[in-house]
Structure 1
Amino acid sequence: MLNGFLLFAEAVLYFGAMVTLFRFRRRIGLGVFVCALGVMHFLETYLASAFYVALPFGMVSPGSAVMFSGKLVMLLLLYMKEDAATVRQPIYGLLLGNGLLIGLVLVLRLHAISPLPDGRVPDIGFIDEMGWLMVWGTSLLFVDAILIILLYEKLGAYLRHLPFARILACVACVLTFDQAGFFAALHFVAGAPISVFFGGWFAKMVAALAYSGMLVAYLRWVEDHDITLPRGLSDIFDTLTYRERYEALVKHVGRDGLTGLLHRGSFDADGEAAVAAGIRTAKPLSLL
């Protein structure tokens, strides 16, 4: 009972701290939110590989059930309220940063290490093991982030007016995929038993339920805009770049600032196409 309560408290603390940084991104900069998201990557990977607590349904790690699940939800929030160009920055940064970590560790192993006065020496093997787990976990995160965005967009056609169900379905499906992928690596590296998989999966489903509820509440009561409408799937990282900024610009371009009516430039741009369409369809065309 205590472990379950503590995990829930950790999820609330994580979500509350991260959305607070996100809410004040216009004042303190979005980089604060992104750095906070990335700086915990080592801790969540370490906890997912070594720190587990017992619950009635199995063994659960706070690093996986709370921190990683929360990070995925934060990336979805970043996409929903900013744009694709912004959300890909932490994803690529984590992947390339962990690749750099492996490269540096490989070079560090060539040093002739001098022990400290108390006889301690660095555990390069531990750093090496953690590095590979982090690279694998970040590679999964890269795939997870794309999948959750694609699912979010696809489900918008069916669940646009049910934001909780839409977000929950996305998060639950992707966390299931991630649990299978990360457990495979954890079983190979650390010999994790199958109970870790089922316990972790159940915990992630509970986390998906909790985080989805908190995210919908945040979007509805704190953020200024509603959840965005569904869009196409042609190229998730290029076509949708600067989406909100572009849509806001399109709303005002070609219109008079006082009346909101289209000005002469719009006729020059659209008039020829309208006349051609009228001739082609043999329908009347009027100009006011």
Structure 2
Amino acid sequence: MLSLPVREGRIATWHDRQIIPGTDWAKTIDTHLERASVILLLVSPDFLASDYCYEIKMQRALQRHEANEARVVPIIVHPCDWSHALFAKLACLPRDGKEITTWNNEDLAWNDVTDGIHRVIEDLSQLSTSAPRTSLPAAWSLSFEKVEQAHPAAAGLLRLCAFLAPDAIPEELITKGAAYLGPVLQPVGEDAQLLDEAIAALGAYSLIRRDASTSTMSIHRLVQAVLRAAMNASTQKIWVERAVRAMHATLPPVEHSQWNDWERLVTHALVCAE
């Protein structure tokens, strides 16, 4: 349905059938739900009846929609009583909310859905292009400039994080992959005190959040977008390569006993591979 924009590199898609065996499926779904810019709800009687889909996944999707962090698009697949659902106020696909399976030609219905999703993608692309002009990204850019002047290693750490999944970035990725992070950031990965100082410098400007209990960091998706947009192609390539090599140095052996470690790293590995 979306093969062309995927092939063109305009979007990346994900669904729960891509979950790797042996991983925590609920945590993996949550991670991708938090990363998504567009969330498609495939509405059917089973969807409405599922406590997990309706009460947990959809509720969080709508929260992100209301916060302008993502766009939720309900797709009405099978006839069901959705008129009083929480998403009923949103524009649905296909047009007029006519269930796909009730169309005389379901191919036309799916084409209508595809056209609608393309419009959403185009709208978000235009918003993304203008985003750096808004006050919050502009403030982040100014904060980053200040960090880069005062603490170049912290700026390097932030650039690295721009090419990882935004949530629960393991600090061990920095420490175990230090040798591959370049001359400025490598000493930070090799010295716990320098790492603390770099993270503190970023935290002072709300560019990154640290969870000391899990030794992880998180970065806002818009901060990532602003950082990547500010880099030219060659600079992006350098940091992508550093992220990939650091990830390779951090990933444990593929053994059953190592699944917990893989679970913490797999989302970031997938982003590096994109």
TM-score range, shorter chain: under 0.3
Larger Rg: 1
The structure in which a higher percent of residues are helix is 1
TM-score with structure 2 setting the length: 0.24
The structure in which a higher percent of residues are strand is 2
| Larger RCO (alpha carbons 8 Å, 6+ apart) | 1
